[in-house]
Amino acid sequence: MPVDLAVVPVAGRGTRMLPITKSQPKEMLAVGTKPVVQYVAEELEQSGVRRMVLVTGPGKTAIENHFDIDAGLIAALRENGQESLLNKLAFERMQLEYIYMRQRRQLGLGHAILCARPVVVEQPFVVALGDSIIGVHAESKIVAQMTELFEQQEADGVIAFERVPRSEVVHYGIADVGAERDNYFELADLVEKPGVDEAPSDLAVAARYVFKAELFDYLEKTGAGKGNEIQLTDAISMWIRDGGRVLGVQLDASEPRFDIGNFPSYFRAFFEFAACDPEHGEEFRSFARSYLDEAEG
C-alpha cells in the first residue's frame, strides 16, 4: 500500500523568530503570497499524501482556521462581485484529510512526532517539518521519490539531505555516510548539531523523512538530548546502531530547502519567492534592482 499519511509537526515555540512568533505561528508566516504550511500541504498532496496529521500546540489555531473551508468568506466574495479572488482559496479543496493532534508540552521535535502515534499506529508515514519549504513554488516530488525508494528497498527509513556550508553544520542533524549507491546512500549514523571539526559530512537533514512505525519505539526510549528536548536525530541514531536500515537521498540543487526557522534564512526565502512570483515578481525584481543600485551607488 502506498504511503499516504504524513505527520507535520507545527507545535514549536519558534523562539529564534521572536518577536514575530509571540502570538503568531511561524508556520503561518508569509513567504511570497502564501503561509509556509500551505506550501508544505500542497507539496505533500502532489506527492500522493492524502491524510495529514498536524501536531499543534498553544497559539496555533490560525493553522486550523487556514485549512478550514470558509463558507462565509466565499459567500462574501460572491456577493461583493469578487469572484476572481475565489481561486486564491482553491487550496481549501485539496485532496487532503486534516487530523489535528495536540503536543501539550513543547518537548522537542521527537516528542511532537510521538504525539501522532495514536493516529499512525502501525503504518509507515512521512514526516514533513511545518516550517520548511522545498523548492520555489513547492513543486517538489521529493517525498514521492522517497516513499518509492522506501518501498522498493524495504528500508526502515529514508531521509532527505542537503549540502550546507561547513560553518553551518552546527545548526543541523548531519549524515555519517555509509555505502553509496546510484541515487541514495546508506546512513552509517546521524549526528545532531556537531561542531565544525567533528561533523562527519556537510550533508544536513532537510525536513522530509519517511519511516516505519517502529520509529515510535525508539522515540519512546530517547531521553532529553541537546537543548533538553527529545531529538528525532537521537532516536534515528539509536535505531541505526540497533541494525535499522536508514537511507539518505540528496535534494536536487534546483530544489533547495527553505528553512523558515531563523531570520537570515526567512529573509532569503521571502526575497526569492517574491522575485519568482508569477503575478508580482517582475515588479519586485525591478524594485530590488533599483534599490540595490542606489544602495551600492
Distance CA 187, CA 209 (A): 13
Nearest residue (CB) to ligand UTP, 23 versus 80? 23
Verify binding: residue 9, ligand UTP, rule CB under 6 A: yes
Contact with ligand UTP (CB under 6 A) among 77, 107, 119, 149: 107
Contact with ligand UTP (CB under 6 A) among 6, 7, 55, 96: 55
In this structure, are residues 285 and 275 in contact, taking their beta carbons and an 8 Å threshold?
yes
Distance CA 248, CA 257 (A): 15
Distance CA 175, CA 25 (A): 29
Query: For ligand UTP, which stretch binds (CB under 6 A), given 6-14, 78-86, 91-99, 145-153?
Result: 6-14
Nearest residue (CB) to ligand UTP, 48 versus 59? 59
Give me the residue label for grid cell 498532496.
Answer: 45
Query: For ligand UTP, which stretch binds (CB under 6 A), given 125-133, 153-161, 192-200, 233-241?
Result: 125-133
Could you list the beta-strand ranges (E) of 181-285.
185-192, 203-211, 246-250, 257-259
CB of 169 to ligand UTP, least distance (A): 15
Nearest to 150 by CA among 174, 121, 119, 127: 127
In this structure, are residues 6 and 50 in contact, taking their beta carbons and an 8 Å threshold?
no
Considering only residues 175 to 204 of the shown chain, the ones binding ligand UTP according to CB under 6 A are none
Per-residue x/- mask for ligand UTP, residues 213 to 252, rule CB under 6 A? ----------------------------------------
Verify binding: residue 13, ligand UTP, rule CB under 6 A: yes
Contact with ligand UTP (CB under 6 A) among 231, 261, 265, 273: 261
Give me the residue label for grid cell 509556509.
Answer: 36
Distances from the Cα of 266 to the Cαs of 6, 119, 165, 177, 297, in angstroms?
Answer: 24, 32, 17, 29, 27
Contact with ligand UTP (CB under 6 A) among 3, 53, 112, 210: 112
Residues 6+ apart with CB under 8 A from 194: 169, 170, 174, 200
Query: For ligand UTP, which stretch binds (CB under 6 A), given 10-18, 161-169, 238-246, 269-277?
Result: 10-18
Footprint of ligand UTP (CB under 6 A): 9-16, 27, 55, 103, 106-109, 111-112, 129-131, 261
